[in-house]
Structure 1
Amino acid sequence: MRTLYFDCFSGISGDMVIGALIDAGADPLQMEEELKKLSMVEEYTLSWGKVVKNGITSTKFDVILTSKSEQTHEHSHNHGQEHSHGHSHSHGHEHSHGHSHSHEHKHSLGHEHNQSHVPHNHHGSRTYKQIVEAINEANFNESVANMSLAIFKKIGEAEGHIHGLPLEKVHFHEVGAVDSIIDIIGAAILIDQLGIESVQSSAIPTGSGHIHIDHGIYPVPAPATLEILKGVPIASNDIRSELATPTGAAIAAVLAETFGSLPAMTVESIGYGAGTKTFENHPNVLRVIIGEIQ
């Protein structure tokens, strides 16, 4: 059985998942083509390339919004690591590493769209219902649609529980942002493309400390992340930073059938997906291991 194992020793986020899957051999150009079915292509560009994190060559994936005003708007709503992709400050730094360490293909889609005006309501205030409609109207294959819908439902139910709202009334700020929509559906596209039949994961470290989100200063893990991880083993560590984002936690919580150590398997490919942050004593990457379980 072709199995994907998430080795989350430094946490998990949506962009780390996609970076790791690309690093393991998935085809980002095919993902890019599939994502055009969402009719959101003028709202973002995609970027990926090699970076070195504490000695480990890994792939950094970014979704860059095409309106500066919207980048500022989304940044104010972030939960931390995942949405501080560097829309305003760290993007160039990450990608200068990408160019200097490797000749790896660095692809950006639709530069001609960068000057296009995107209405403010396109970003930041999508409802759960709008996201479901967008996925259903896109005509993805059944596997991609089902994975994407299940992940959004997990996050929507968590947000609704925290804010005291029914699912259909949930408005997505962080997760409704274009970058998270792309992260979730893109991950589903790549997992489907790789022919993965089962998913397993390590326990999920959440990190510790405090973060600033749109509702104020909150403890790590953020309430939505903790709600999403109910029933999932959480690993402890002493890093004072947000390691698991709501999107990353939901991808693991929904897709992984079991949580634990690396299963007995014949390893076929390995990928490292870089996070935005850099830590002194360990590489901030997500490792994915793909192989056959007998």
Structure 2
Amino acid sequence: MKIAYLDCPSGIAGDMTLAAMIDAGVPLELLQQGIASLGLPGVRLAVEEVKRHGFRALHLTVEHEPEHAHRHLHHIDAMIDAGDLTAAQKELAKRIFLKVGEAEAKVHGSTLQKVHFHEVGAVDSIADIVGAAIGWDYLGVDRIVCSPVPTGTGYIEIAHGRCSVPAPATAEILKGIPLAASDVPFELTTPTGAAIVATIVDQFGPLPAMQIDRIGYGAGTRELKSQANIIRLILGETADPLDSDQVWVVETNLDDISGEVIGHASNLLLEKGALDVYSTSIQMKKNRPGVQLTVLCDAADLAKMERILFRETGTLGVRRFPVSRHKLVRREHAVETAFGAVAGKLAWIEGGPASFSPEYEACRVLAAKHDKPLREIYDAAQAAFDPNSL
């Protein structure tokens, strides 16, 4: 299984990510061609080898003509759709921008349709995000792991004035992602970098067991006094054909509440980050019929899940225990149909071909848009998948 590890001791930004990809073997010409197809005049990627605190790395600069455009999400989506990119590249780039758009709308009390992209709508950020989508597609890794992310400290000037680090949109994007402590008095993680990791990373934690193949180093622009301002992209292989992790099971037995309350609690648990929620009919003491409500969650969400169970169900106690999971190797994939692009996931069984599963939400949106049965969109997506194209 191909695996990538993002080591971010000095945070992450879009240009650092792109530089690390190039250093790890993604052709600069491939990125340049894809970005040039977006219709942005005079855009050029310039790469140079630099040293940061004694360590070599590549530094990337997006050269372009001056502009003062403030774009909306639909402008950027249209630009990506018109570009000479694969369906998977377009889908990933739009998901990264959607992550930024949702955060900007939240912090400014606006909507996705109305929110302006300021810094992230600039040419260099568009090039960084689209370039990252092209690069990850080229690398074709099955799993991406990332270290905890430091944000830095202090203050920065943005389009809305002076604000503390992390910037509001960056903090919103990083919700649910493990952060690393850092007293570096600068912005280490940008909204673009945060959106990339929040969209592509499968797991956060230490370097996984792997056989290293290639390492790419991407440099930030600023020279830090205390440490090297670089990101390290480690590419390699793991012998384990199955993805594995550890999660927690939280469960409680209920025999004195209505089905409506159980349904409401289940929906709330899922909204707040539960990996799965399900109920099982059980027979309790004195032959009373009851329900066992079971929650699967990450360790970071354990206390939150318990609070919801206690508050919503009135239970007097819960059981909790860690479990290990084995999962098929999976990665994001998109196919083109007559109704539009459909996002989904590829999965592999050892020694067998990849299977494609369309995402429900992607199919639902197209079904509503074209007034077609959901099943017809699913069937079109399955028919469009060609395992020989992988």
TM-score past 0.5 threshold? yes
Distance across 2 between alignment mates of 1:170 and 1:280: 37
Aligned to 1:12, what secondary structure does the other structure show? coil
> Is structure 2 residue 235 aligned with structure 1 residue 290?
yes
Residues 145 and 204, structure 2, Cα contact 8 Å, conserved in 1: yes
Aligned residue number for residue 97 of structure 1: none
Within 5 Å, give how 1:39-58 maps onto structure 2: 39-40=39-40, 42-58=41-57
Distance across 2 between alignment mates of 1:196 and 1:45: 27
Residues 201 and 260, structure 1, Cα contact 8 Å, conserved in 2: yes
Residues 32 and 44, structure 2, Cα contact 8 Å, conserved in 1: no
Aligned residue number for residue 249 of structure 1: 194
Aligned residue number for residue 153 of structure 1: 98
> Is structure 2 residue 71 aligned with structure 1 residue 126?
yes
Aligned to 1:66, what secondary structure does the other structure show? coil
Per the TM alignment, residue 45 of structure 1 is displaced from its structure 2 partner at its CA by 2.3
> Is structure 2 residue 154 aligned with structure 1 residue 209?
yes
Distance across 2 between alignment mates of 1:161 and 1:187: 24
Residues 44 and 63, structure 1, Cα contact 8 Å, conserved in 2: yes
Distance across 2 between alignment mates of 1:50 and 1:240: 25
Aligned residue number for residue 29 of structure 1: 29
Aligned to 2:176, what secondary structure does the other structure show? coil
Gaps of 5+ in 1: 71-122
Aligned residue number for residue 195 of structure 1: 140
> Is structure 2 residue 129 aligned with structure 1 residue 184?
yes
Gaps of 5+ in 2: 240-390
Residues 60 and 274, structure 1, Cα contact 8 Å, conserved in 2: yes
Distance across 2 between alignment mates of 1:183 and 1:35: 9
Distance across 1 between alignment mates of 2:42 and 2:37: 13
Task: Name the Cα RMSD after superposition.
Answer: 1.1
Per the TM alignment, residue 253 of structure 1 is displaced from its structure 2 partner at its CA by 0.8
Aligned partner of 2:49: which letter?
K
Residues 38 and 138, structure 1, Cα contact 8 Å, conserved in 2: yes
Question: When you count strand as a share of all residues, which structure comes out higher?
Answer: 2
Distance across 2 between alignment mates of 1:245 and 1:268: 28
Task: Name the count of aligned residue pairs.
Answer: 239
Residues 45 and 63, structure 1, Cα contact 8 Å, conserved in 2: yes
Aligned residue number for residue 66 of structure 1: 65
Distance across 2 between alignment mates of 1:198 and 1:124: 36
Distance across 2 between alignment mates of 1:192 and 1:36: 17
User: What is the aligned counterpart of 1:219 among 164, 183, 186?
Assistant: 164
> Is structure 2 residue 8 aligned with structure 1 residue 8?
yes
Aligned partner of 2:109: which letter?
G
Residues 45 and 66, structure 1, Cα contact 8 Å, conserved in 2: no
Per the TM alignment, residue 24 of structure 1 is displaced from its structure 2 partner at its CA by 1.0
Per the TM alignment, residue 191 of structure 1 is displaced from its structure 2 partner at its CA by 1.2
Residues 124 and 174, structure 1, Cα contact 8 Å, conserved in 2: no
Normalised to the residue count of structure 1, the TM-score between the two structures is 0.79
Post-superposition CA distance 1:185-230 (Å, at most 9, x none): 0011111112222211011100011111111110100000000000
Distance across 2 between alignment mates of 1:36 and 1:131: 14
Aligned to 2:120, what secondary structure does the other structure show? coil
Residues 43 and 178, structure 1, Cα contact 8 Å, conserved in 2: no
User: What is the aligned counterpart of 1:136 among 81, 94, 111?
Assistant: 81
Normalised to the residue count of structure 2, the TM-score between the two structures is 0.60
Per the TM alignment, residue 139 of structure 1 is displaced from its structure 2 partner at its CA by 4.4
Larger radius of gyration: 2
User: What is the aligned counterpart of 1:273 among 211, 218, 231?
Assistant: 218
Aligned to 1:225, what secondary structure does the other structure show? helix
